[in-house]
Structures are given as C-alpha cells and as structure tokens.
Amino acid sequence: MATTYVDCNGKEWKLRLSVASGEKVKTDTGVDFATYTTLAKLQDDAILARVCFILSGEPSGEEESFIDGIDGDTKDRMEAAIWSELENFSRGRQRTVIQAARDKANQVVQQEAERIAKQISEITIDVFGKIVTNSADTSERTPSE
C-alpha cells in the first residue's frame, strides 16, 4: 500500500516503502528506517526531499519537477506521509513504537519552536537601536554582543 501527499503545485505523489527502497534511502541519506533515532534526520529539508523522492520511485529526470513542488506546507505533508508509510510497512507490534517515536519527534519540534519564540519575544531594542536582552540568570538587562 502506498501513501500519498499533494505538493504545492497540486501534484499527487505516492510514497512506497519497501525493503529495496529502504536500503536505497539508507545508502543515499543515512536515514535507517530500522533505527528510529535516525529519523530525526528528516528535519533536514534536503534529506526529507531526497527520502521522499526515493520513496516515490520516480525516475531521476523527474527530480526537478519534484523539488519545484516543495514549500513549507508540502514539507509537513511529506513528513506525515513518511511516518504513515513507515507504519504501513511495519509489523503490527512495531506500530505502537513508531507512533510513539512520531509523537515524541513532534513534541520535541514543538518545544523547540516554543523555546525560540520565547527567546525572540524577550528581545528588546533600546532607544539607540541596540538589541538588549534579558539575562536568563537575572532580571538585569544586558546589551547583546
């Protein structure tokens, strides 16, 4: 069974994970679907795109069209499709582990986004146009370097 997603140009792409495509992904990108910790590499946009292109089974001449269809929302759909395809490929007893890994990965990404947003919100600019930040250890304002 293949999993699909739609790119920003409206084209539907089918991803299919098999033993052969999984080995090609591992060789080309270092992402090993048997080792859940390497799935963090999918946060790298270039690796995400390469993995999806391999799993699409499209001939290499289609890569430019494939890349042209990627935007921010497409990357989210691509990542969701990979996780779904990994669940489809796995044995029933492994699916719970995969779902937990996916949930943890989403949690880590969300926490990192919230941390960065908080840091940005704490930046102030003084009357001279210099950036001033609040120190994490004290409430004193310190000029940033």
According to the model, what pLDDT value does residue 52 have? 94
pTM for this prediction:
0.70
Whether 44 maps to a domain, the answer reads: yes
Q: Is residue 96 part of a domain?
A: no
Domain hosting 84: range is: 3-89
> Looking up tokens 């994970």, which residue turns up?
17
| Confidence at residue 8, expressed as pLDDT on a 0 to 100 scale | 94
- Spatial distance between the Cα atoms of 87 and 96, rounded to a whole number of angstroms: 9
- Quick one: tokens of 76? 């989210």
Could you tell me the mean pLDDT of each successive run of 10 residues in the chain, 145 residues long?
A: 88 93 93 79 89 89 87 93 89 83 83 90 77 56 49
- Structural domain count, the chain: 1
Q: How many CB atoms lie within 10 A of CB 26?
A: 17
Is there a domain that residue 12 lies in? yes
In a domain, 41, yes or no: yes
Instruction: Determine the pLDDT at residue 141.
Output: 47
| CA dihedral sign of residues 73, 28, 23, 104 | negative
Q: How far apart are CA 56 and CA 3, in angstroms?
A: 10
Number of other CB atoms surrounding residue 69 within 10 Å: 18
